[in-house]
Structure 1
């Protein structure tokens, strides 16, 4: 039987790693720290998958552009303070191994920074399963299709035989845009 897909691309946060609540908490804590209105959980959760500046622009619309880097630093401080406790979803390692053994290419398209993705791949030990990765440092933020376009080009995969696996509308929109 022919395989249905040549390439499966995964989002990271909320898809492979159970980090949603931690990200929401870090956005809310950074907002409090900077004296901004604290976004509710739904507003903070909606930005997961976007690049950090785009995410903060939406989650904290009162934030002046001149203070974006201050907010980014505060967010990273709060996120990194507890990210060692975040775990992969149950079955991720086994599922990736099974997919890899089936001969399909595996990749990651994430709103994380390159440093952040490399760190969690090292910490979780699952970097070996992926043939390629793209971060917001290297491409436009989701929902722009550049992450998927670059991954399919690099791996010689047809975008029509590529599956995007994610947990947000940003992931779905990126796939549709590609």
Structure 2
């Protein structure tokens, strides 16, 4: 039987917002500014969901701290100020969040974004008031470390048994396992369904609009 969840924690990129193209564009621009070889788009997409330092370790293994700091400065400049690649909420996200709020669920975000990036998109979308707590990878450990989820649960006074982590990557689902919570996958983000299913999520949604009915089942 499915638990009666109290807290729903959402990943951001690839789960609530279709930001893949913008992230890829900003990484490509940063590599050009640093005059280094640009990874393939597939490699860049694969690190979406990780904190920037952890993402750079996967893209550029063995890179040192000064390299990472310089790259992050370039990336954030493009993401926050220069890059105009559209990033939009997936269809039905607003309606789903409105419904969940009306049902008295606690709602939160756990994201690989840095705080400036998350604040920017929360302001642009007007969704900040919908969430009771948010955590970013520059405030604590990156996914799949459980600390983001543990901090959110502690802040809101919710147990792992009452918490559902919803995301589009293996990093989200592994974080849920590491934190002792439940995991729910979405199929429309950056990682394939086969890859997600290796982490035994409770289900895999093809559209975020399915979440409300899924919770009722």
Question: TM-score, normalized by length of structure 2?
Answer: 0.76
User: Which stretch of structure 1 is more off in the superposition, 50-59 or 95-104?
Assistant: 50-59
Cα distance in 2 for partners of 1:76, 1:64 equals: 18
CA distance in 2, matches of 1:158, 1:135: 20
- Equivalent residue for 1:16? 16
* Range with greater deviation from structure 2 (59-68 or 39-48): 59-68
Indicate the residue corresponding to 1:106 in structure 2: 107
* SS of equivalent to 1:70: helix
* Partner residue, 1:90: 91
Which of 140-149 and 69-78 deviates more? 69-78
Aligned to 1:52: 52
Q: CA deviation at 1:85?
A: 3.2
Q: Please state if 1:152 is matched with 2:153.
A: yes
- Structure 1 residue matching 2:17: 3-state secondary structure: coil
Q: Which has the higher contact order (CA 8 A, sep 6+)?
A: 1
Moved more, 18-27 or 55-64: 55-64
**Which region of structure 1 is more displaced relative to structure 2, 75-84 or 25-34?**
75-84
Give secondary structure in 2 for the equivalent of 1:85: coil
Cα offset, 1:109, TM superposition: 0.4
Instruction: Identify the range of structure 1 (161-170 vs 27-36) with the bigger mean alpha-carbon deviation.
Output: 27-36
Give the TM-score of the pair, scaled to structure 1: 0.92
**Alignment partner, residue 162 of structure 1:** 163
Q: Which runs of 4+ in 1 moved over 6 A?
A: none
Aligned twin of 2:136: 135
Are the counterparts in 2 of residues 31 and 60 from structure 1 also a CA contact under 8 Å? no
Aligned-pair CA distance for 1:65: 3.2
| CA–CA distance in structure 1, aligned partners of residues 122 and 175 of structure 2 | 23
Which stretch of the first structure deviates more once superposed, 155-164 or 143-152? 155-164
Cα offset, 1:32, TM superposition: 2.4
Following superposition, the deviation at residue 83 of structure 1 comes to 5.2
Q: Which runs of 5+ in 2 are unaligned?
A: 180-217
Deviation at 1:84, TM superposition (A): 7.5
Q: Which has the higher strand share?
A: 2
Distance in 1 of aligned mates of 2:166 and 2:105: 14
Is 2:19–2:86's contact at 8 Å kept on the other side of the alignment?
Answer: no
Structure-2 separation of matches of 1:63 and 1:33: 16
Structure 1 contact 36–62 (Cα < 8 Å) conserved: no
- Tell me what 2:172 maps to: 171
Q: Tell me how many residue pairs correspond in the alignment.
A: 177
